[in-house]
């Protein structure tokens, strides 16, 4: 599936290993949070990068103690209307200080892209037939924001000002 990064389709170095299937040792692989819980010892000594995929009901706190083991956290949106993932990403960044890649997976639409970026996501797994233009456009069509983004600390920026993303 196409990977959206910085408003463009990018190369995806990661693959997902479904539960029960072997996990390749020589390249970056994403596993499910459930598998991580059940088989965590089997990943001791692994050199290639590991990522974890959280179901939409799994909140940031569940993975927080193990975040240093993962170069990527994939946050699933079961339905695009289920906005829990926005808080999950924000908690990962703000509360648990996670600096790796946060990827939105599942059902996400371009109209949410700016919100995703502003809550700490770095990439989005988009559906096969997606229109890349809509993703590019989503980053630039609104240029004003009324809340601080993740990287801003200036208290005077709390309310309305021009947006820097995009």
Sites of contact with another protein (CB under 8 A): 59, 80-84, 86-88, 90-91, 94-95, 109, 111-112, 114-116, 118-119, 131, 134, 137, 141-149, 152-156, 158-162
Least distance between another protein and beta carbon 153 (Å): 5
- Closest distance to another protein from the beta carbon of 52 (Å): 18
Least CB distance to another protein at residue 2 (A)? 15
Q: Which is nearer to another protein, 13 or 158 (CB)?
A: 158
- Residue 104: both structure tokens together: 């939105």
Element of type H or E holding 84? helix 84-90
- Measured from the CB atom, is 48 or 158 closer to another protein? 158
Residue 84 or 103: the one with the smaller Cβ distance to another protein is: 84
> Rounded distance, CA 122 to CA 101, Å?
6
- Looking at residue 94, the DSSP 8-state letter turns out to be I
Token readout for 91 is 């908690």
State the DSSP code for 118: H
* C-alpha–C-alpha distance, residues 71 and 99, integer Å: 9
Q: Which CB, 45 or 155, lies closer to another protein?
A: 155
Residue of 68, 122, 118 lying closest to 98 (CA atoms): 68
Measured from the CB of residue 38, what is the shortest distance to another protein in angstroms?
24
């Amino acid at each position: 599936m196409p990977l959206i990064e910085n408003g463009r389709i990018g190369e995806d170095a990661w693959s997902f290993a479904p539960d029960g299937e072997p996990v390749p040792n020589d390249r970056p692989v994403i596993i499910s949070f459930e598998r991580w819980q059940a088989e965590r010892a089997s990943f001791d000594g692994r050199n290639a990068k590991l990522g974890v995929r959280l179901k939409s009901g799994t909140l940031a706190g569940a993975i927080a103690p193990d975040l240093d083991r993962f170069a990527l956290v994939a946050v699933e949106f079961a339905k695009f209307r289920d906005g829990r993932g926005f808080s999950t990403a924000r908690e990962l960044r703000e509360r648990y200080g996670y600096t790796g890649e946060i990827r939105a997976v599942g059902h996400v639409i371009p109209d949410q892209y700016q919100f995703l970026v502003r809550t700490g996501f770095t990439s989005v797994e988009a559906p096969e037939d997606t229109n890349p233009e809509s993703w590019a456009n989503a980053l630039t069509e609104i240029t004003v924001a009324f809340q601080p983004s993740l990287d801003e600390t200036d208290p005077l920026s709390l309310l309305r000002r021009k947006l820097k993303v995009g």
